[in-house]
Amino acid sequence: MRLELGYLFIEDVQFAEETKLENKTLYVNKNELVNLIKEDEHFEKVDLELARPGESIRITPVKDVIEPRVKVEGPGGIFPGMISKVDTVGSGKTNVLKGCAVVTAGKIVGFQEGIIDMTGPGADYTPFSKLNNIVLVCEPKEGLKQHEHERALRMAGFKAATYLGEVAKNLTPDEVEIFETEPMLESINKYPELPKVAYVQMLQSQGLLHDTYVYGVDAKESLPTIIYPTEIMDGAIVSGNCVSACDKNTTYHHLNNPVVKDLFAKHGKELNFIGVIITNENVYLADKERSSNWTAKLAEFLGLDGVLISQEGFGNPDTDLIMNCKKIEQKGIKTVIITDEYAGRDGASQSLADADPLANAVVTGGNANEVITLPPMDKIIGDTSYVDTIAGGFDGSLKEDGSIVVELQAITGATNELGFNKLTAKGY
């Protein structure tokens, strides 16, 4: 599976009469995009705002972040099962508007949505402060059920990202990056001297509003399976999560999964990147046992020497993480786990809800309980009235002057288990 990603770099975003890309500036027809989103009868009001790096702007509550992409050549289309038909993606050519994103915000869906500050100390903890953001502020109709609200807002983000991505369909990229995964037997024969490594990606799927979708199917309805890493880059996996802001992998995280990119960078040099095993996270013990058994079985079936495992969420998913690690290690396959840790505000508490001696190679995402003070911003996109009740907030978090005292978990993308940092641990 070979995918060419063509990057068109965005340095500014502005409203204009025509949606187009010129001289690294993305121009957006506000009325046209708003009217597209308002076709959904679930919304009472839709507005569009712009937030650029360095501006004194706070966006909250944030539902999802999505990078605009468009399929240029090859089978399928972007966001299969959501926007495009359910064709297998991950090959051909896809153009990317690099440096911008669609952010969905507005009245809260669950009680764990997050904050993006475009400047100040909070901006240092989120990758999204570095992007030119097109923010959809959607207000649902009165009486709309939470799951209907979540779906409407999720689809609004995908529609907006698809609309914007179309401007790049016939443009020449500024830069092209190629990613390729050979069929397993070919890859093994090509690099016989290198350790065979795969990535086990745990997807949040623990009940209503804790959803991740694979080709349009809720991950909780599926058993662990094998996927080409390039499929992820074409939008095969998208977020529907309303979990703690720093714990959820937004759709942007999936499209730009840094674990996948780091493994590709080492492919054929330090290791043989065989592919990705995706597995879900479960509520009940029997389901956890079933999924971790299948994950270990697939790792053994692939004849792997090493595995990287990332989790999404904390607490309950820590058990899934350790089960996967322990069972894969017991197959004789070395593991490295990427953790999402909560060690208390003083850092002195047990940071994971589960542990095992076989989990002996760890990359930490940091302590999400650490407290930070976010200074007042000149402009608020969305609504700060939810700040006291989101995960990481507390009664009195929002101060009279507009400053906010919260734990890092309230910041979208902060201490994320994918981290957007280069991996350094070697466990294979």
The Cβ of residue 171 has, within 10 Å, a number of other Cβ atoms equal to: 16
Q: Is it the case that residue 378 has pLDDT exceeding 90?
A: yes
Residue 367 has a pLDDT of 86
Cα 292 to Cα 131, 211, 257, 309, 352: the distances in Å are 36, 18, 22, 12, 18
Contact between residue 100 and residue 77 where contact means Cβ atoms under 8 Å apart: no
Q: Is it the case that residue 334 has pLDDT exceeding 70?
A: yes
The one catalytic residue in 138, 242, 246, 325 is 242
What mean pLDDT, rounded, does the chain reach? 91
Residue 111 has a pLDDT of 60
Count of residues making up the chain: 428
Residue 415 has a pLDDT of 60
Residue 423 has a pLDDT of 35
Q: Is it the case that residue 426 has pLDDT exceeding 50?
A: no
Write the DSSP symbol of residue 109: S
Q: What is the pTM of this model?
A: 0.93
Q: Is it the case that residue 267 has pLDDT exceeding 80?
A: yes
Three-state DSSP at 310 gives strand
- Per residue in 63-93, pLDDT (tens digit) is 999 999 999 999 999 999 999 999 999 999 9
Strand order across the beta sheet in which 362-367 lies: 225-227, 272-280, 196-203, 306-310, 334-341, 362-367
Residue 110 has a pLDDT of 67
**Mean pLDDT computed over 249-275:** 96
- Per residue in 7-58, pLDDT (tens digit) is 999 999 999 999 999 999 999 999 999 999 999 999 999 999 999 999 999 9
Cα 190 to Cα 98, 177, 195, 271: the distances in Å are 33, 21, 12, 12
Q: Which of 88, 83, 66, 86 shows the shortest CA–CA distance to 3? A: 88
Residue 421 has a pLDDT of 40
242 among known catalytic residues = yes
Q: How far apart are CA 296 and CA 279, in angstroms?
A: 10
